[in-house]
Amino acid sequence: MSVQRSAKPDRALAFARVFALAAPVIYVICELMNWPVFTYHPGTGRLDWGWAAAVKDEGPAMYWFGWNLSMLIGGAVVAGLASLAPGLARRLPLAFSWIFALACVPLYLYALRFYWTH
C-alpha cells in the first residue's frame, strides 16, 4: 500500500506544501508594499480595485480584505502550478512554511515599531 502511494504523484501534498509557504510570503509582501486586490471603504460601502486612498469625510479605507484576497489568489495560483510538478515541489522543505510563519512575529514586531515607540 505504501509502495503504491509513494509511486503516485502526491498532488495534494505538493499543493499544500507550496501554498503554506507561498500564501504567507505573498501576504507579507502585499501588506508591506500595500498591494491589496481591492480597497473597501466601510463608511460608504464602496469597493475600489487595487489600492485607493481614504476619501475625505467618508471615513477610513480598509486594505486587509484586499491583502487576504491577494494571498489566497496568489497562493492558489503558485501552489496550483506546483501541483502539476509534484516531484519538483517535494524539493521544497516543509520546514520553510513554519520557519517563515514564525519569523513573521519578530518581522511584524519590528515593522509595527511605530506603535510600540509612539
Partner 1 sequence: MELVHLVMAETTFWTILLMIHGLLSMALIGALTHQAASVLRAPKAGGVGLAARFSGVKGEVYASAVAGLWVVTFLFGAWIYVKYRTYIRIPIEQEEFWKTLGAFELKEQLASIGLGLLPLYWLVWRRSSDKALQPARKWLTLTLALFGWIAFLVGHVVNNVRGFGS
Residues of the shown chain interacting with partner 1 in the complex, contacts defined by CB under 8 A: 12-13, 15-17, 19-20, 23-24, 27-28, 31, 40, 42-43, 59-60, 62, 64-65, 67-68, 71, 75, 94-95, 97-98, 101-102, 104-105, 108-109, 112, 114-116, 118
Sorted by sequence, the CB contacts under 8 Å of residue 107 that are 6+ apart come out as 28
- The CA–CA distances, whole Å, from 78 to 29, 39, 69, 73 equal 15, 23, 14, 9
Residue 11's closest CA among 74, 77, 99, 86?
Answer: 86
Provide, rounded to whole angstroms, the least separation between the CB of residue 2 and partner 1.
9
Sorted by sequence, the CB contacts under 8 Å of residue 13 that are 6+ apart come out as 86, 90
For partner 1, give the closer residue by CB, 40 or 86: 40
End-to-end, the C-alpha distance of the chain in Å comes to: 60
For partner 1, give the closer residue by CB, 50 or 59: 59
For partner 1, give the closer residue by CB, 19 or 37: 19
Provide, rounded to whole angstroms, the least separation between the CB of residue 106 and partner 1.
11
For partner 1, give the closer residue by CB, 33 or 109: 109
Provide, rounded to whole angstroms, the least separation between the CB of residue 37 and partner 1.
13
Please name every residue paired with 39 in a beta bridge, in sequence order, or none if there are none: 48
Provide, rounded to whole angstroms, the least separation between the CB of residue 50 and partner 1.
19
Residue 68's closest CA among 33, 101, 35, 102?
Answer: 35
